[in-house]
Amino acid sequence: MRHQRVINHLGRTSAHRKSMISNMAVSLIMHKRISTTTAKAKALKTFVEPLITKSKEDSTHSRRVVFGYLKDKEAVSELFRTVSPKIAERPGGYTRILKTGNRIGDNAEMCIIELVDFNELMKDGEAAKPKTARRRRAGKKTAGSPAEAQTKTSAPKAKKTGKAEKSQKDEEKPDDASTESTPETDTKE
């Protein structure tokens, strides 16, 4: 029985699985985002997050421990140089899995796994949402957007200048005539 055996074997031998996840971790660190299957992404997440935590302390011992897992000097230096300073204050949860649908060939569930602090679009979106979100009561009517308020204030000014308003209406008439139904369509009805 498999009680408490949490690791996903991914249909591979242990040597193949370890080297595959190590290579995926190197790709994630170097490119900050990779596309893979959801099962592999979840296995990669449990593999790479402790390494990122280890990189917070920049010592020779930590570098050697991380190199033992990754086996790539450039990825280790990238992890300690660029990734580690950005995640220094973060207590955990360094990666994000975004599901992208199923693969056409075999219908495997695909996703994108990325380092959280390196996605500028998501960071900007999260920062902007709390500022613009407002709670409204159902019973009260709101004044509307600033653009609507601006048009309401500019409308009375246009009424004062009658000639300018008439010239605008004259210019709009040909446009309105072109959008109206043609006599041919009226006869068919």
Over residues 48-95, the pLDDT tens digits come to 999 999 999 999 999 999 999 999 999 999 999 999 999 999 999 999
Q: Name the residue with higher pLDDT: 185 or 20.
A: 20
- Give me the CATH number covering residue 51: 3.90.1030.10
Number of residues assigned to the chain: 189
Tell which residue, 33, 53, 57, has the closest CA to residue 116: 33
First to last CA, the chain: 75
- Note the pLDDT of residue 143: 57
- Identify the domain containing residue 165 by its residue range: 145-174
Domain tally, the chain: 2
Residues 6+ positions from 20 with CB-CB distance below 8 Å: 10, 12, 40
> Does the residue 103 lie in any domain?
yes
Residues 6+ positions from 41 with CB-CB distance below 8 Å: 97, 111, 113
Query: Does residue 189 carry a pLDDT above 50?
Result: no
Share of the chain above pLDDT 90, in %: 58
Q: Are 24 and 111 part of one and the same domain?
A: yes
Residues 85-124 pLDDT 10s: 999 999 999 999 999 999 999 999 999 999 999 988 877 7
Which residues share a beta bridge with 74?
none
- Note the pLDDT of residue 138: 75
Q: Are 33 and 100 part of one and the same domain?
A: yes
Tell which residue, 119, 121, 99, has the closest CA to residue 110: 99
Q: Could you tell me if 50 and 95 are in contact, meaning their C-beta atoms sit under 8 angstroms apart?
A: no
- Note the pLDDT of residue 142: 56
